[in-house]
Amino acid sequence: MEKPAKYGGRPVREKPLPTVDDISGRAIGEEEEKLVLEVLRSGRLFRYVGSKVAELEREFAKLMGVKYAVACSSGTAAVHAALAAVGVSPGDDVVTTPVTDMGTVAPILFQGAVPVFADVDEDTCNVDPRSVERLVSKRTAAVVPVHLFGFPVDMDPIMEVAEAKGIAVVEDCAQAYLAEYKGRLVGTIGHLGCFSLQQSKHMTAGEGGLVVTNDEELAQKAALFTDKGWARWATVHGLEPREYALLGLNYRMSELQGAVALAQLRKLKWVVERRRELAERLTRRLEGLDYVKPPPRYSWAKPSYWQYPLQVDLDRLRVSLREFAEALRAEGIPCSAGYIGVPLYLTKVLRERKTFAKTGFPLVDNPFYGRSVEYKEGLCPRAERALKRLIVVPWNEFYTPDDVDDIAEAVEKLVKYYAAQAR
């Protein structure tokens, strides 16, 4: 049996895999340069004097098959704008998943609302619609399902509950460009869909975000929120007082970001299809391997593979998650152990209710609740279990079939080694 590199053996590969952290794994080139230079040479770097951000909004809406797209400064800003648009306010609850980035939850808190965490489906780590339904109450203003790793949430049951209760659904699609649920693009199923243009996403402008919807009023409110509430169309600039229609923030996208994102958008279909093709190759290699569970195949789901999650039966292999991840890295395969490590409600900011400097509102001193909100271990047991056995491998459109085979070989090598040690 071949000894793992962590214990003195030879690694499966020594050449680094392409990575989204630099040009080796990012489809950035002449198209982006051309559009950025157009902006620079025009001198119009602000979105309301330029044209690139507006063009991005039109083209993204067209690609998604919706009426409206609103560009903003980040995926977090997109979620915040969407929650503000649907009216999330102090005294409200927002039901979401504990297995996500803080960018999903911070906007809930900044709207003065309380995040209510639903448990997850252990096969996908996506929020479980049955758990969502149990947690919906009179306080619930919105549900935020997150399509984790590019795998669609089971949306129909969530929409049924939301429609019956008059609750808004804001889809967090930061990791799920062009993922499909029963033939529908995620982000077009709920009332609004939110996307990220951060460095690691399927398309990037370094930072940036997009909100999509078919509802004109929601689109207008989201746009206002990202521009400090300024109703620019309502006044003759410089001749009349500005009209601020609602309380908003400066979440605007710059023309430089818009130019890069516009060029990236034209490559998006290729990126997603390539990632699907490569992910299918790895799944075929791993689906018969004992002790390891690759992403599931469902007839209703067409994932877009932001990253590739792998569940490992660590108890039977008698190895810790950290040790397995370290061993995989030693084989030349980058990975993370447990994705975010712990469910968000166990992070310091939420567990210790460190929200604002002089108050823990809305988790403490919340007059609408009449009590403090407590987050503690055991709140979402399936989420806690899933994260303790989850290995996440970065995924990239520039992998070759040989790269994918190396990933499979490294996983197989470690499973065989630890299985033999456990006997």
The catalytic residue positions are 201
Distance of alpha carbon 97 from its chain centroid, rounded?
A: 11
Taking alpha carbons only, the member of 92, 96, 85, 289 closest to residue 174 is 96
Angle between helix axes 401-422 and 321-330 (nearest 10 degrees) is 130
Q: Give the burial class of 172: count Cβ atoms within 10 A of its Cβ; 0-12 exposed, 13-18 middle, 19 or more buried.
A: buried
- DSSP, res 368: T
What count of residues does the chain have? 423
Residue 213, helix vs strand vs coil: strand
Token pair belonging to 152: 């669609």
C-alpha separations of 67 from 169, 188, 400 in Å = 17, 10, 37
CB 317 within 8 A of CB 291: yes
Parallel, antiparallel, or unpaired for β 93-96 and 114-117? parallel
- CA dist 110 and 112 (Å) reads 5
Looking at 127-196, which runs of residues are DSSP E strands?
A: 140-144, 168-172, 180-181, 184-185, 192-196
Parallel, antiparallel, or unpaired for β 168-172 and 192-196? parallel
Place of tokens 């499909």: 180
Token pair belonging to 18: 């392409």
Sheet holding 301-302, edge to edge: 184-185, 180-181, 301-302
- DSSP, res 196: E
